[in-house]
Amino acid sequence: MNVLIIPLSREGSVDIRIQRIAKHLESLTNEKTAQRILKACDTDVGLPSTPKKRERYIGCLMNRLDEELTEKKRKEVMERCGRECIRKTTIERAINLRKKSKDINEFIDELNQNHIGGGKLRMSKGVIHGYYERCYCGAVSKSKHPISLTYCNCSAGWYRELFEKTMQKPVKVEVED
């Protein structure tokens, strides 16, 4: 029987973001690798029992992913997290906006006006570009410590899920910067 040990907060709850990272880490690597990475962060940071410790813990996880996994594998872990992170209600709202829009440009404008996708989406040469002035993830958005760009692949997964569901076809998403 395989059991992935995920660190608990002082109250005994698991931060959903850490839970997602652990789940996808294990599914894309193996239990032994996932446990080694999680335990290393337990040792380095301790239990993610406060918002600051959670930020540091996630930062540690990203550093460990950078050290131990290929770029392709760590992108996939984080993209899967982002695909799970987007709320169904957000997708439903976006689908309704898409249905009401006469074309893709109007749809992008509607997404921006409704603050779906950061509010700074733009079309250029058939490519939709998204831009965040800051990270919106509640787990790390207030952190004063830099976090690996690996974490940005969560946003790539979020965007991918949004546009695949609204456009009803596969899309490619890349983190540019």
| 123 φ, ψ (degrees, to nearest 5) | -105, 135
Residue 155 has pLDDT above 70, yes or no: yes
Predicted confidence at residue 52, as pLDDT, reads 84
pLDDT tens-digit map of 13-52 = 567 888 899 999 999 998 899 989 988 888 778 777 788 8
CA–CA gap between residue 65 and residue 77 (Å, rounded): 9
**Does residue 11 have a pLDDT over 90?**
no
Q: Are 123 and 108 in contact (CB under 8 A)?
A: yes
Q: What ranges do the domains of the chain cover?
A: 16-83, 86-167
Q: What is the DSSP string of 25-58?
A: HHHHS-HHHHHHHHHHHHHHH----SHHHHHHHH
Among left, alpha and beta (phi > 0; psi -120 to 50; other), residue 148 is beta
Would you say residue 12 has pLDDT above 60? Answer: no
pLDDT of residue 13: 56
In the prediction, which pLDDT does 9 show? Answer: 45
pTM for the whole structure: 0.86
Summarize pLDDT for 81-140 with one digit per residue, the tens.
999 999 999 999 999 999 999 999 999 999 999 999 988 899 888 889 888 877 778 777
Strand segments, DSSP code E, in 2-156 are 122-124, 127-129
135 close to 141: Cβ distance less than 8 angstroms: yes
User: pLDDT at position 5, please?
Assistant: 46
Higher pLDDT, 107 or 4: 107
What pLDDT, on the 0 to 100 scale, is given for residue 3? 41
Location of structure tokens 């990272």: 21
Per DSSP, 124 falls in state E
